[in-house]
Amino acid sequence: MRIVVLVSGAGSNLQAVIDAVQSGDLPVEIAAVGADRPGTLGLERSAAAGLETFVVNFRDYATRADWDAALLTAVAAYEPDYVVSSGFMRIVAPGFIDAFPGRYVNTHPALLPSFPGAHGVRDALAYGVKVTGCTVHFADAGVDTGPIIAQAPVAVLDDDTEDTLHERIKVAERALLIEVLGKLAAGSVL
Ligand code: GAR
């Protein structure tokens, strides 16, 4: 199973996938890692792991449609079986979803459909939920919407900050993402 992973930031979930692949625990080939901006830790981690990387810098395109087309061309060139949005903080165009039907997987740090968006951890904390968690789902062209593949709960502690809660969620999220990718590779996700 060939995957292209898309990242915008630190790429700690990506690092967990890289580690699982390199240790032989995950029968997946990371064909490339793509980003919407240069100079991120996620790209650094990928280069350090010897992976191919590419940047489709949002700022380099005059229109949103131009960027959408460039992203699709860049990703499609690797002929991935699945595209994984791992902290990729951009909504892709409907044309991207059409190009990879049921093959665009996103991970989100909340129990969707609650708390979608860029601040899922902060929003859950602000609401005062006692349990939140993470979701891995097939993404559509909405904001963190699309059929759910797997979820894991994480308890909110009284003294949690956004950072402490996000760190615990990410521990669960990494394990969940690797589990889901393993199942996709085995063909056991319906
Ligand atoms: C992850 O928690 C991911 O779920 C979240 O960004 C973080 C990226 O961390 N994505 C979203 O909030 C998407 N709505 P990482 O770059 O360290 O893997």
Please identify which of the residues 108, 119, 137, 166 carries the catalytic annotation: 108
Going from the C-alpha of 94 to that of each of 88, 139, 152, the distances in angstroms are 16, 11, 28
Domain positions in the chain are 2-186
Pocket test for ligand 1, best of 12, 43, 84, 115 (most atoms within 8 A of CB): 12
**Token duo for residue 8:** 């915008």
Is 108 tagged catalytic?
yes
Q: What is the mean pLDDT of residues 119-145?
A: 97
150 HSE (CA, 13 A, CB side): 19
**Whether pTM exceeds 0.75:** yes
Residue type for position 159: D
21-52: pLDDT as tens digits:
999 999 999 999 999 999 999 999 999 999 99
Residue type for position 113: P
Predicted local distance difference test score (pLDDT) of residue 189: 82
CA distance 165 to 178: 20
What's the CATH code, domain 2-186? Answer: 3.40.50.170
Determine whether the shortest distance from the Cβ of 121 to ligand 1 is under 6 A. Answer: no
What angle, 0 to 180 degrees and rounded to 10, lies between the N-to-C axes of helices 12-22 and 162-186?
A: 40
CA distance 28 to 2: 6
Angle (nearest 5°) at CA 60 between 104 and 40: 60
Predicted local distance difference test score (pLDDT) of residue 190: 67
Percent of the chain with pLDDT strictly greater than 90: 98
Spatial CA neighbour of 71 closest among 147, 143, 4: 4
> For residue 101, how far is its CA from the centre of ligand 1 (angstroms)?
22
**Token duo for residue 39:** 């100079």
